[in-house]
Amino acid sequence: MTPNRPSVISIAGFDPSAGAGILADIKTFEANRVYGLGVCSAITYQDDQHFRGVNWLTAEEIMLQVLVLLNRFDVKFVKIGLIESLDSALTVIRKIKKTVPEIQIIWDPILKASAGFEFHSKPGTELLQELCTELFLITPNIPEAVELGESGAAEQNATELSRYCNVFLKGGHHAKKTGEDFLYHKQGKRISFGGRTFDVKPKHGSGCVLSAAITAWLAKGAVLEKACLLAKDYTLRVLESNDSLLGYHAMEDIAYTAH
C-alpha cells in the first residue's frame, strides 16, 4: 500500500547537520502531514556554521532516483533546492514534466550557503526565464532575488520573474521590513505577508523549511496564497523553537486546514 497522505518529492542537497536541504525538507513534510520522498542532488560537507565543500550529483543521477519514485507514487508537487546548475535544473524539470505532465514544481534558488559558500554566480537572463516558464513557483530570498535579474533590486526582479511563474519573495533579509514576505502572482497581483521579529531566532535552513512547507500545503489542496500563509506560520514556529541555529520541528497535530 502507498501512504494515505499526499506524497511530495524534495530534490535537494544532503546537509549532515539536518538544518537545511533534504533532511530539513523531510522533517517539514512530516510535521505538516504529507509523505516526504527524498532525492539527493548533492552531498555537502558542513554543519550549521561552517561549510567545507560539495559533491554534485549529475542530472542523470538525480533522474534515476526520481523516476523510481514517480513510477511508484502519485506525486503532484516537487520541490527543488540545491542543484549543480540551471542547466541541470532545466534538464531535470523537463524530464519530470515529460513523465508527469500535470506535476507542479517549486524551486528554491539556493545560490549561497548560509555559512558563506557561493554555489552559483549570477544566472543568465535567457536561461533563467526559460527555467521559470517550466515552474509553478520560485521562492528566493532578498539577496537571491537581487541576483535573479538585471535591475539589482529584489522587488523589481521578482516582478519581472512573475511574468513566467509565481514568485514568493522571502523577506528575512529585508533591511527595513524584516520578515515581511511578498507573493507575486503570475497574474500580476502582489500580496504582502507581514513579518514580526520578537521571539524569532535565526535558523540555518529556514528558507528550505519555508519552501518545503509551502509545497506541503499545496499538496494538501491549499490555494497558493493560503499555502504561503500557513507555511510562514509554521516557519515562525521553527524559528521560535529554541535559541540555537538548528530549529525543532513541531510534531503535534496542526489544527488549521488547507480549506
Question: Per-residue pLDDT for the chain (259 aa), expressed as one digit of tens each?
Answer: 678 999 999 999 999 999 999 999 999 999 999 999 999 999 999 999 999 999 999 999 999 999 999 999 999 999 999 999 999 999 999 999 999 999 999 999 987 665 555 666 667 889 999 999 999 999 999 999 998 988 889 999 999 999 999 999 998 655 566 678 999 998 789 999 986 666 778 899 999 999 999 999 999 999 999 999 999 999 999 999 999 999 999 766 555 566 6
Q: With beta carbons less than 8 A apart as the criterion, state whether 195 and 181 touch.
A: yes
Instruction: For domain 7-239, give the fold.
Output: UDP-N-acetylmuramoyl-L-alanine:D-glutamate ligase (3.40.1190)
pLDDT digits (tens, 9 = 90+) for 92-102: 999 999 999 99
Domain locations in the chain as residue ranges: 7-239
What gap in Å lies between CA 105 and CA 189, rounded to an integer? 20
- Stated as kind and residue range, the H or E segment containing 250 is none
Supply the DSSP symbol for 253: P
Backbone angles phi, psi at 63, to 5 degrees: -70, -30
pTM over 0.75: yes
Residues in Cβ contact with 88 at an 8 Å cutoff, skipping those fewer than 6 apart? 58, 59, 62
Residue 10 identity: S
pLDDT digits (tens, 9 = 90+) for 122-152: 678 899 999 999 999 999 999 999 989 888 8
Query: What b/e readout covers 174-208, taking b as 16+ CB neighbours within 10 angstroms?
Result: beeeebbbbbbebeeeeeebebeeeebeebbbbbb
Name the residue among 248, 251, 259, 257 with its Cα closest to residue 24.
248
Please give the span between the terminal C-alpha atoms of the chain, in angstroms, as a whole number. 27
- Range list of H helices, 73-202: 86-99, 125-133, 142-147, 154-161
Q: With beta carbons less than 8 A apart as the criterion, state whether 116 and 79 touch.
A: no
What gap in Å lies between CA 120 and CA 166, rounded to an integer? 22
Secondary structure (DSSP) of 73-108: S-EEEEEE---S-HHHHHHHHHHHHHHSTT-EEEE-
How far, in Å, are 75, 179, 217, 242, 246 from residue 201 at the CA level? 34, 12, 24, 7, 10
Residue 99 identity: T
Pairing of strands 181-184, 190-193: antiparallel
What gap in Å lies between CA 204 and CA 84, rounded to an integer? 20
